[in-house]
Each structure stands twice: as structure tokens, then as C-alpha cells.
Amino acid sequence: RSVLEGKGAKGIEDTRSFHSGVECVSCHMSEGNHLMKVIRPDDPELSEKRIDTCTACHKDNNREARAEQIQEWQRWYRKAMDPVQADLKAIETALKQNPDILNAELKAKLNDVKANIAIIISDRSEGAHNLDFALEIMSLAAADLKEIQAAMK
């Protein structure tokens, strides 16, 4: 729930999702089962008669519109996450070759970046739970990693 509530990231103000007031079971048990599985509107196995998780509440939009929205959120997430992960990998590789390349302040900053990124990776929604929070984390991470990489040169 920390991602939905937008809490727990160092250097980021709380950023509540518009879904933060919704109970987990509303989305993850929408058919009344205990699978804790979201029924995505873009699931190719979903029959026309079966209601997806999003449309169960958002009756004003059709399935196609909801599918496009989720896919767009997740594209934005991956577009921000991919370079952050590449930068983290490059920094980790450099640190293996020279563990003393960073001072204590930059090591602490790197640890904060890794902790913040772990929050949104472990959430596993790729931004669907709280895209604004995820993008804030990745924006700060990108800036901090750029500073760290500059100091390593």
C-alpha cells in the first residue's frame, strides 16, 4: 500500500494515488475469488461477457479505453525506468572495479536511489498503482545517478 499512498521514498513528498482510498480487494478480488489477480481490460483471455477489474468501477469508459490507459501508464513507467536501471548497472560495474571511487555522501545517495527504486519495483504494477509517485522516484533517481556518474569520471 505504500506505493498507492505514495509514501516511504527518501527525498520524495507523499504523492497519493487517486486509487489510494480503494481497498485492495476491490481490484484484486473483483470476481469474489481469492486469487488476488487483477483482471486487466487488455487480457486476451477475457471474454466480452466477463467484466474486467477496471470497468467494474469505471462504468463510464469502455474496456478499450481502460486498456489503452493502463498500457500508456506502463509505457511511461518503462521509458523512465529503463535508463535508470542502465545507469545503476553501469555504476555497479564501475564500483566492482574500484569500490572506493565514491565518497561517503555519494555512496549514501546511491543507496537512497536503490532503496527508492526497490519500492516501485517490488510493487510490480509498473506504475498502475501510482504512476505519479513512480515517476517522481525515477526523476530524482535519474538526477542523482547523473551526479554520481559525473563524480566517477
Task: For the chain, give percent helix, strand, coil, nearest 5.
Answer: 60, 0, 40
Query: CA 117 from chain center: how many Å?
Result: 8
Lowest mean pLDDT among 2-6, 52-56, 80-84, 85-89: 52-56
Query: Which whole number is the average pLDDT over 102-106?
Result: 97
Higher per-residue pLDDT: 119 or 30: 119
**Residue 22 to residue 119: CA distance in whole angstroms:** 20
Copy the grid coordinates of residue 51: 467484466
Of the ranges 5-9, 66-70, 139-143, the best mean pLDDT one:
139-143
Handedness of CA 86, 92, 130, 25 (dihedral sign): positive
Instruction: Count the neighbouring beta carbons within 10 Å of the beta carbon of residue 101.
Output: 15
Rounded average pLDDT over 124-145: 96
- CA dist., res. 117 & res. 142, Å (int): 11
Q: How confident is the model at residue 61 (pLDDT cuts 50, 70, 90)?
A: low
- Nearest Cα residue to 77 out of 122, 39, 132, 36: 132
Q: What is the pLDDT of residues 15-58, one digit of tens each?
A: 888 777 778 777 777 777 777 788 888 888 888 788 888 877 88
What value does the mean pLDDT take over residues 82-99? Answer: 98
Cell of 101: 571511487
Q: Which residue has the cell 474486467?
A: 52
Confidence of residue 150 (pLDDT cuts 50, 70, 90): very high
Query: Which runs of consecutive H residues, i.e. helices, occur in the chain?
Result: 2-5, 24-28, 53-57, 63-97, 104-123, 131-152
At 51 the pLDDT is: 80
pLDDT of residue 38: 82
Cα 9 to Cα 27: distance, rounded to the nearest angstrom: 24
